[in-house]
Amino acid sequence: MPATRRSEFLIGMKDTFPLILGAIPFGIIFGALAINAGLSPAATMGMSLFVFAGSAQFIGAGLVGQGASLGVIVLTTFVVNLRHVLYSASLGPYMKRLSQVWLLPLAFWLTDETYAVVIRHYQREDDSPYKHWYYFGSSISMYVNWNLCTLIGILAGQRLEGLATLGLDFAMVVTFIGILVPLLVSRPMLLSALVAGVVGVLANGLPNKLGLMLAAVCGIAAGMLAEALTRQPPSEAIPLKQAAKQEMP
């Protein structure tokens, strides 16, 4: 059956649904944390509507609660979101024929969850001309869910004390692990993840989320160094399973 705009849109929503389940408690916790950090309901809702970057929103709200300066908040969230440059570069070859009418909103709606499902869909060998509708379906479902959950968190945060201490945000940690592991298909990617994880744990006690920034920088540097040493472009990196087979006698 040939792909249509409607079918691609609905499949994009369906494939993103498991990741939405993990994002639900994350969005609720953000709304509650932001209110408890001193942000107004309007400012909290505005972050989800116009920023739409979960991890950056969490960090930004936390830094506001700590009384950090505007410069520290901007720099920290900027570094945290640098990964979207890599996402965009990866998706660019598949979307270069789209007009700005499509590129601008899809760029705004790009998230970790949407990237994880969309890049795999684009890499499938089929001739569907409507894969950007798949992207659209994934994006809009994540966007609506995130804002609804933020609103629930705002209302709950104003009425229930200690909501942010229940540990509901652990669901998002599990979701991110599920997103990350299938993408670790080469040694540079694996090394990058390991270095970032180790540095993140060791530097967790640094103020103003500097440990997170340091982990991101070290992870990127490790991946780039490993890539340079192997002298292979990312598209030609040998998958781990294939490399293991080649090394067997």
State which of 81-85, 115-119, 230-234, 244-248 shows the largest mean pLDDT: 115-119
Arithmetic mean of pLDDT, 193-209 = 86
**Residue 193 corresponds to which tokens in the numbers above?**
């993840």
Q: What percent of the chain has pLDDT over 90?
A: 35
**What is the value of pTM for the model shown?**
0.74
Q: How confident is the model at residue 216 (pLDDT cuts 50, 70, 90)?
A: confident
Whether 138 shows a pLDDT value over 90: the answer reads yes
